[in-house]
Amino acid sequence: MPGAECVNSTVIPILNLKGSDTKIILLTDSFPSANGGGISQTLFNLLHPLRRQVMVMTDKRENNLVEENSMPTIFYELKTWGPANGRVEAMLNRLWPSRQFEWVQSHAEIFTKKLPSKEKLLILVSTTVTLKLQIAWCLMKLGYKVVPYFMDDWLAGVKLQWKNGNIQRVACELLSEAPGWLVISENLKKTFKVRYHLKEKPCLVIHNPSPAVNTTELNCVGMEPGYCIIYAGSIWPMHYDALLATARAISKLHSEVNINYRLLIYTPAWMWNKHKKTMCLPGIEYGGYIAYNDLQPRLRRGWLLLCTASFIEEQAAFSHSSTQTKLTDYMASGRPVLYVGPPGGASGIFVEEADCGFTVGTDNLNSIADHIETITMMQDLWTRKSANALKLAESVYSQQAVQRKLYQFLGKMLNQETEKSQ
């Protein structure tokens, strides 16, 4: 279990990267957003205090995706190909991604036109787009200080290649030559070290920070009737099959046991509509979409807070590597987590090491139902895990503690590279 270090919540961490003129360029496809969820949410929660020093770098064509009033933006413009019509052109469509990558590699200087001087600049790349990872690699080859932040193993199985390279070589060289890495889990760190045969170097496992805990509000909020399990967040393929298995287990309990078991789901309407045919079961309710700043009072009404990770092979890399954003949000509510996902998944390991909830390592609905029933008879354990969750949210995973750790690491990365080049 992580140590509950003492944190002065009144101290706002300040980044000291060689003075106020130092900049961080964030190269991403997940633009920091207060209600973005996942990577976007995590980047916002980590970097918002640095908004005067952080600039987002992105493709000019993505102008409409950049959230209003977000961080300043630097745009670059790419030469593009396709798609085309016709039989011959359709055959050529398969070659255009390779042409794009070859073009980027031979025109890397276009990405430097609007950048500050190298000595006052750190490039933080957090992306799930192969082209943007290549751009980060190009900037590194031109002498810029680049630190990658991976929040899942989206590179697993990606075989994209072009005339003078491939995306796996790009990832390997980026990790090998960067001054250090940021990753979302120890699992992901170990995976990269083995896959790319990497030597040990500075690496920080960094999570989404917990929102501020309002103890007064926490004590005043009543719980939903019965045993209400709450799921809050997106429903992507990496969540869906385990979420459906849990919903069916809860529905079974709701229908067969003389106790009010329920599952309440908060997710964007389009995600609920996509899955409601399978999820509309007795005891399963849709609660609508809740903005991030309004979420905590809703979570505090739950008995357990559900986190699911896929059991299917196609999603194994994500389940194994990703510590989900919702976990530290859940902890701030002072309610235990219920993790349903494969054993050894990063989110399940997080819950077990923090002792902040219960884990179920099977998608068998009868086994899930039995686990949930058992928890109802373990009130002392439920209380202890609730207290642990809240304690860690106020200390190790508080915004102040997580931001301070990140900013110190980034400062060391910049200084280390600067000293190396002198």
Q: What is the pLDDT of residue 82?
A: 55
Rounded Cα distance between 123 and 23, Å, is 8
Mean pLDDT, the chain, rounded, equals 86
* Inter-residue contact 184 to 346 (CB < 8 Å): yes
pLDDT tens for 369-393 read 999 999 999 999 999 999 999 999 9
Rounded Cα distance between 82 and 95, Å, is 10
pLDDT tens for 238-250 read 999 999 999 999 9
* Inter-residue contact 229 to 305 (CB < 8 Å): yes
pLDDT surpassing 70 at residue 20: no
| First-to-last C-alpha distance (Å) of the chain | 41
Q: Quote the percentage of the chain above a pLDDT of 70.
A: 86
Q: What is the mean pLDDT of residues 283-302?
A: 94
Q: What is the pLDDT of residue 109?
A: 85
Q: What is the pLDDT of residue 221?
A: 66
Rounded Cα distance between 421 and 174, Å, is 18
What tokens does 234 get?
A: 């997106």
Q: Quote the percentage of the chain above a pLDDT of 90.
A: 63
pLDDT surpassing 50 at residue 86: no
pLDDT band at 164 (very low <50, low <70, confident <90, very high): confident
* Inter-residue contact 140 to 146 (CB < 8 Å): yes
pLDDT surpassing 50 at residue 3: no
Q: What is the mean pLDDT of residues 328-333?
A: 96
Rounded Cα distance between 144 and 123, Å, is 7
pLDDT surpassing 90 at residue 304: yes
* Inter-residue contact 2 to 35 (CB < 8 Å): no
Lowest-confidence region among 31-45, 238-252, 390-404? 31-45
Lowest-confidence region among 98-102, 163-167, 327-331? 98-102
pLDDT band at 8 (very low <50, low <70, confident <90, very high): very low
76: which DSSP letter? E
pLDDT tens for 270-281 read 999 999 999 999
Whole-model pTM?
A: 0.87
Q: What is the mean pLDDT of residues 66-71?
A: 61
Q: What is the pLDDT of residue 393?
A: 96
Q: What is the pLDDT of residue 65?
A: 61
Lowest-confidence region among 13-17, 162-166, 277-281, 362-366? 13-17
Q: What is the pLDDT of residue 84?
A: 45
Lowest-confidence region among 40-54, 98-112, 209-223? 209-223
| More reliable by pLDDT, 300 or 11 | 300
